[in-house]
Amino acid sequence: MQPYPLAFTQSRFKSAILDYQIQVEGELGDIIKRHFRDQEAYNIRRLQFQARVDLVRALIGDTPDDGFWNLIKSLGNLRNQYSHSRYTETTEGQKKIQDAKNAIFQHMQNIRSDIKPEMFPNDLEILTWANFMLQVFFRVINEALDKEGRPEAEPDLP
């Protein structure tokens, strides 16, 4: 039997949403594991997304800009609209997706007031910027954990 290439969708936007969500989940999982002496003792992959977010927030405490957590939640919501919904092509489904995209943009503006709609020619650009902002956020968190002397997370083995 030949293995099939992994492909989520024909939509570049939907593929980006799913890809960025996997990256965010990995970052959250790594931050959680950095706090454990025995990183394999607790299976992070079994935690639901919101539980990971809540656990990371509890482990690291307050951050200079809690708006990033709202952005993370909104990206997760958009991902859920695409991956758990059977009606993404309906009028109601499209409205929920648009509301989720609007929330992402609003949270980006709350984090950086210089962000304007005309900076983004399409939804994929907004999503890419949101992901970039989160990667910087996670880098700052990991640098702080490095300064605390926390060990890096062990890579997950398949």
Per-residue pLDDT averaged across 103-125, rounded? 93
Span 8-27, pLDDT tens digits: 456 888 889 989 999 999 99
Q: What is the mean pLDDT of the chain?
A: 86
Query: Residue 87: how many CB atoms within 10 A of its CB?
Result: 11
Residues in the chain: 158
pLDDT-derived band of residue 153, with 50, 70 and 90 as boundaries?
A: confident
CA 9/CA 79 separation, integer angstroms: 13
153 is a domain residue: no
CA 19/CA 106 separation, integer angstroms: 21
123 is a domain residue: yes
pLDDT-derived band of residue 118, with 50, 70 and 90 as boundaries?
A: very high
Number of domains in the chain: 1
Task: Kindly report the pTM of this predicted structure.
Answer: 0.84
| 19 within 8 A of 84, measured Cβ to Cβ | no
Q: What is the pLDDT of residue 157?
A: 60
43 is a domain residue: yes
Q: What is the pLDDT of residue 4?
A: 46
> Residue 120, by phi and psi: left (phi above 0), alpha (psi -120 to 50) or beta?
beta
71 is a domain residue: yes
CA 9/CA 100 separation, integer angstroms: 19
157 is a domain residue: no
Higher pLDDT, 113 or 63: 113
pLDDT-derived band of residue 71, with 50, 70 and 90 as boundaries?
A: very high
> Which structure tokens are listed for 5?
């290439």
Domain limits for position 86 = 12-147
1 is a domain residue: no
